[in-house]
Structure 1
Amino acid sequence: MTFENSKYSKRFAYTKEVFSFGILYATKYFVVSELNEGIHVDYDIASEIISRFSSKINDDTKIVYVANRFNSYSSNPQLWVDFNNDYDFLIASAIVSYSDFSYLNASLEKQFFNKSLKRCNSLDEALEWALNLKEFKNVNQN
């Protein structure tokens, strides 16, 4: 399921950022990425994403990154290490896997991420987990 077809796109205000390599949806609490089939997420792609969102990030920003991987693509797991060293606005991350191979890749990436990384089987599971983190305890009461 895509973010725009989910109940969360109606529940939360969001901005849609379109890139040549995919789409990101940004809310106050989380960012959902839906990247294109066959791409390789490298430092250049990560830098392009960060530069697009850098004006919206400040010291008080705390969000969860959700990779909605209904398309198959690869990424450099070292990016997690570099990202953790450079940015502190991520509370946690979730990877939604729709295949066994994608789940195995998420397991590998989990080894590189020094914060909580949840492997999920659906976008609903990922976003409910994210919204129930202690940092967002009042979100579900709205």
Structure 2
Amino acid sequence: MYFCSPILLVVVNSVNKSFIKKYEIEIGTFYFYKNFVVGEVDSGADLNFESGKKLYNLLEIHFKNTIPYVYISNRINSYSFKPTRLYNVDKNFPNLKGYGIVIYDPTNKTIAQLEETFTDMPTQIFDNLEDAICWAKRITSSS
């Protein structure tokens, strides 16, 4: 488990300064920041390539395939997702530097651990959003 250093906690506390925009789209709510996105997919949604097109377009608009960023999946809801879709994700999103998963129950932890096996990109499981943001800041600051 990753924990923030006292210095990085200051960075996390200043996260509102890097907030860009909130989008509510068909599959959920997505909060865009300077170097990371917090995604909250709606309960019961089926997250796949087709349903995610609008999100992919938003990622391209905000990060322009040049700005390093981390995607944080804030798993407050249950939804459908095929972890095999994480294969070769770095080829489709070259500036995606990490994938954080925030879980709130043991079942989602098991699912998240399975997801980790399908990607070579830095992936980390967290039990709170603050640690995930701290990790995202660290990952993107070294890019």
> TM > 0.5 between the two?
yes
Matches within 5 A, 1:1-142: 10-133=16-139, 135-136=140-141
1:73 offset after TM fit, Å? 1.4
Flag the 1:114–1:136 CA change in 2: closer, same or farther, 3 A. same
Q: Measure the CA separation in 2 of the matches of 1:8 and 1:26.
A: 15
Q: Measure the CA separation in 1 of the matches of 2:65 and 2:90.
A: 15
Flag the 1:92–1:75 CA change in 2: closer, same or farther, 3 A. same
* SS of aligned partner of 1:91: strand
Aligned-residue Cα RMSD (Å) equals: 1.9
Q: Measure the CA separation in 2 of the matches of 1:102 and 1:8.
A: 29
Q: Calculate the TM-score normalised by the size of structure 2.
A: 0.82
Q: Deviations over 1:42-100 (max 9, x none)?
A: 11122221123323333431001000001111211122115333221111110000011
Spell out structure 1 runs of 4+ moving beyond 3 A.
6-9
Q: Calculate the TM-score normalised by the size of structure 1.
A: 0.82
1:7 offset after TM fit, Å? 5.2
* SS of aligned partner of 1:88: coil
Q: Deviations over 1:98-121 (max 9, x none)?
A: 011111111111111111100000
